[in-house]
């Protein structure tokens, strides 16, 4: 696949919302190949479950828009895991060796530094004109700004690279990340090596609230990944629930291609929750 066309903007609501508008207006077309949209700041970012997220100057707020061809089933299998691993590798390469091992992946595809969130990904499949399928991968990184610029409600659970004395070239990181993500779209399916890495990086995860088909939320623990990358959770009463149960399941990042974001709730990067 050809390298992405870069669209750099100062301030906008959301890089993914911008990508959607450009696709719907046929200003982004498959003939033009993939596009990478980067904003210096966002003022209308929406994260998982419709939560707002803070995107001040100094962070990396971007969306990669990739036109897809043909049947996307094999590509979408395990894609959430593959994206998470690619983002993990890109950020680890961008920080010093002393900090590298302290950056880790949290299911489904958040990045933590010393157990506080520094980055997140939200991806979706959208239909453009003539039913062209596009993959949008929104990535946000709390980089070169003080954690005091984060909302007070998330300062106990989120941090920034700057808070740890790390200054990051967000432009170089965006380019490295785009290259990794594009490579994923050219090799469909979750490989055995990627699955092994995901198991090693994530391991057992604390109990998370899952919304069941009847609308009741139950705590469940991540126990394993199957061969196509679905996360398997065990509830308190011993039931095993796959992560692709549908749009009612939370978290929903593994529902890419199956879950539909509510109107006006299009993700575009990292929510700081």
Looking at the fold, whether 25 and 154 belong to one and the same domain comes out as yes
State the pLDDT at residue 272: 37
Task: Answer yes or no: is 15 within a domain.
Answer: yes
Q: How many domains does the chain have?
A: 2
Is residue 49 assigned to a domain?
yes
Same domain, 9 and 136: yes
CA proximity to 222, closest of 210, 214, 213, 211: 210
Residue 152 and residue 28 share a domain: yes
The predicted-structure confidence for 204-260, as pLDDT tens digits, reads as follows 556 677 766 667 778 888 888 888 888 888 888 888 888 653 222 223 333 222 233
- Considering only residues 219 and 170, tell me which one the structure prediction assigns the higher pLDDT: 170
What share of the chain has pLDDT > 90, as a percent? 46
pLDDT digits (tens, 9 = 90+) for 60-111: 999 999 999 877 887 888 888 899 999 999 999 999 888 999 999 987 778 9
Residues of the domain holding 164: 5-198
pLDDT digits (tens, 9 = 90+) for 113-157: 999 999 999 888 888 887 889 999 999 999 999 999 988 888 899
**Residue with tokens 């490579």, as numbered in its chain:** 183
- Give the tens place of pLDDT for each residue, 11-38: 999 999 999 999 999 999 999 999 999 9
Same domain, yes or no, for 120 and 13?
Answer: yes
- The answer to whether residue 149 is domain-embedded is yes
177: domain CATH number? 3.30.930.10
CATH, residue 241 = 2.30.30
Length in residues, the chain: 273
According to the model, what pLDDT value does residue 246 have?
Answer: 24
- Indicate whether 66 and 182 sit together in one domain: yes
Domain contains 267: no
Residues 158 and 184 in one domain: yes
Q: Where are the beta strands (DSSP E) in the chain?
A: 5-12, 35-42, 60-68, 103-106, 110-113, 116-127, 133-141, 207-211, 217-225, 231-235, 240-242
CA distances to 34, 195, 226 from 12, in Å: 20, 36, 39
pLDDT higher at 205 or 185: 185
Average pLDDT over the chain, rounded to an integer: 81
Residue 215 sits at φ, ψ, to 5 deg, of 90, -5
Token pair, residue 200, equals 């090693």
The answer on 208 and 182 residing in a single domain is no
Within-domain flag for 264? no
Q: What is the pLDDT of residue 29?
A: 93
Residue at 258 is within a domain:
no
Asked if residue 51 and residue 132 are part of one domain, the reply reads: yes
Q: What is the pLDDT of residue 44?
A: 62
* pLDDT tens track for 186-197: 887 788 888 888
Residues 219 and 133 in one domain: no
Same domain for 107 and 217, yes or no, is no
């Amino acid at each position: 696949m050809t390298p992405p066309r870069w669209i750099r903007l100062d301030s906008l609501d959301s890089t993914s919302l911008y990508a959607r508008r450009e696709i719907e207006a046929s200003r982004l077309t498959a003939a033009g190949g993939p596009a990478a949209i980067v904003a210096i700041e966002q003022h209308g970012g929406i994260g998982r479950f419709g939560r707002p997220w803070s995107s001040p100057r100094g962070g990396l707020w971007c969306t990669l828009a990739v036109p897809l061809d043909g049947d996307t089933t094999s590509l979408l299998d395990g894609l959430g895991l593959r994206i998470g691993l690619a983002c993990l590798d890109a950020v680890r390469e961008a920080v010093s060796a002393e900090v590298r091992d302290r950056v880790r992946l949290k299911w489904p595809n958040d990045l933590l530094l010393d157990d506080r969130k520094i980055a997140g990904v939200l991806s979706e499949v959208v239909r453009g004109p003539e039913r062209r399928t596009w993959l949008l991968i929104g990535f946000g990184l709390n980089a070169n700004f003080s954690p005091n610029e984060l909302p007070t409600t998330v300062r106990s659970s989120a941090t920034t690279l700057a808070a740890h004395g790390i200054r990051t070239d967000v432009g170089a990181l965006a380019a490295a990340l785009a290259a990794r993500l594009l490579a994923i779209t050219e090799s469909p399916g979750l490989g055995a090596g990627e699955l092994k890495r995901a198991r090693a990086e994530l391991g057992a995860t604390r109990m998370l609230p899952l919304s069941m088909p009847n609308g009741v939320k139950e705590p469940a623990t991540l126990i394993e990944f199957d061969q196509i990358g679905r996360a398997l959770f065990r509830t308190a009463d011993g039931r095993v629930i796959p992560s692709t149960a549908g749009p009612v399941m939370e978290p929903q990042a593994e529902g890419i291609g199956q879950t539909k974001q509510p109107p006006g709730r299009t993700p575009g990067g990292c929510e700081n929750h």
